[in-house]
Structure 1
Amino acid sequence: MVTQPETVLINWSSYADTRAGLGADFARILGYFREDGTKSVAAIEEAMRASDAAKLVIPAHTLKGDSAQFGADRLSALAEQIEMTARRCVELRQQPDELLQSVVMLRQVFEQSLDALEKETNPLVQRRSFGRRNEPADTSFGRI
Structure 2
Amino acid sequence: MSFEGSALVDWAAFAKARAELGADFVRILGYFREDGVKSVAAIEAGMRALNAAAIVIPAHTLKGEAGQFGATPLADLAEAIEVIARDCVEARETPEAAVEDVARLRPLFNETLALLEREAGPMAARRPATGFGRRPAGGTFGRS
Q: Which amino acid aligns with 2:133?
A: F
Q: Which amino acid aligns with 2:58?
A: P
For 1:21 and 1:130, how far apart are their aligned partners in 2? Answer: 28
Which residue of the other structure, out of 130, 134, 139, is the alignment partner of 2:133? 130
For 2:76 and 2:133, how far apart are their aligned partners in 1? Answer: 34
For 1:117 and 1:45, how far apart are their aligned partners in 2? Answer: 23
The residue that corresponds to 2:15 in the other structure is 16
The residue that corresponds to 1:56 in the other structure is 55
TM-score normalised according to structure 2 size: 0.83
Matched, 1:27 2:26: yes
The residue that corresponds to 1:102 in the other structure is 101
For 1:54 and 1:88, how far apart are their aligned partners in 2? Answer: 10
Q: Which amino acid aligns with 1:15?
A: F
Q: Which amino acid aligns with 2:77?
A: L
The residue that corresponds to 1:45 in the other structure is 44
For 1:14 and 1:88, how far apart are their aligned partners in 2? Answer: 30
For 2:87 and 2:133, how far apart are their aligned partners in 1? Answer: 51
For 1:15 and 1:33, how far apart are their aligned partners in 2? Answer: 13
Unaligned runs of 5+ in 2: 136-140
Aligned ranges 1:56-135 → 2 under 5 Å: 56-124=55-123, 129-131=132-134
Q: Which amino acid aligns with 1:77?
A: D
TM-score normalised according to structure 1 size: 0.83
- SS of match in other structure, 2:122: coil
Q: Runs (4+) of structure 1 moved beyond 4 Å?
A: 125-128
- Tell me: higher relative CO, structure 1 or 2? Use CA pairs within 8 A at least 6 residues apart: 1
For 2:134 and 2:76, how far apart are their aligned partners in 1? Answer: 38
Offset of residue 129 of structure 1: 3.6
Q: Which amino acid aligns with 1:123?
A: P
Offset of residue 131 of structure 1: 4.1
- SS of match in other structure, 1:60: helix
- SS of match in other structure, 1:124: helix
Q: Which amino acid aligns with 2:56?
A: V
Q: Larger helix proportion, structure 1 or 2?
A: 2
For 2:118 and 2:21, how far apart are their aligned partners in 1? Answer: 18
% identity of equivalent residues? 53
- SS of match in other structure, 1:82: helix
For 1:124 and 1:104, how far apart are their aligned partners in 2? Answer: 33
RMSD in angstroms over aligned alpha carbons?
A: 2.3
Paired residues, number: 130
